[in-house]
Amino acid sequence: MLYSKEVMDHFENPRNIGKMADADGIGEVGNAKCGDIMKMYIKVENDIIVDVKFNTFGCGSAIATSSMATEMIKGKPISEALELSNKAVVEALGGLPPAKLHCSVLAEEAVKAAIKDYYDKNGIAYDAEQFCDGNCAACHAHDHEHAHGHAEEE
């Protein structure tokens, strides 16, 4: 199984790795099948993600996608970070083997989970459809079984 230079670089030299004590938002997601767990921390000022850190327990692809995702949202407005797709992460890494594509989905979900946490902590209203509720089976059918505690629509 061959990995691109970018994947190897982000695996061997992950960017923005570590914890953030004063994070404004923390998102933790996991994949029960592969055992990968990603935790993402964001610092927000004036609606801009000024700093981001991650901790990932998982394979090389999980670490590489986490690292790349942090690079792609750092310094960006929240609205842009919310648009980060797993496809964009995979493209930026020069591709991933099909069996490892789920790692990029986790990276996208971790970013969104951290932003959702920031919104919740600050009482900012949002569209619940934008966020993963951790119920992967429901997501694929995209029904309306969302986690509790969503801000009510105006």
Alpha helix ranges (H) inside the chain: 5-12, 60-73, 78-82, 86-92, 101-121, 136-141
- For the question of residue 139 being annotated catalytic, the response is no
**34, 59, 136, 139: which is the annotated catalytic residue?**
34
Which structural domains are found in the chain, ordered by start? Answer: 5-141 (3.90.1010.10)
Walk along the chain (154 residues) and give the pLDDT tens digit of each residue: 589 999 999 999 999 999 999 999 999 999 878 789 999 999 999 999 999 999 999 999 999 999 999 999 999 999 999 999 999 999 999 999 999 999 999 999 999 999 999 999 999 998 887 775 555 554 543 333 333 333 333 3
**59, 103, 132, 136: which is the annotated catalytic residue?**
103
End-to-end CA distance of the chain: 50
- pTM recorded for the entire structure: 0.84
- For the question of residue 132 being annotated catalytic, the response is no
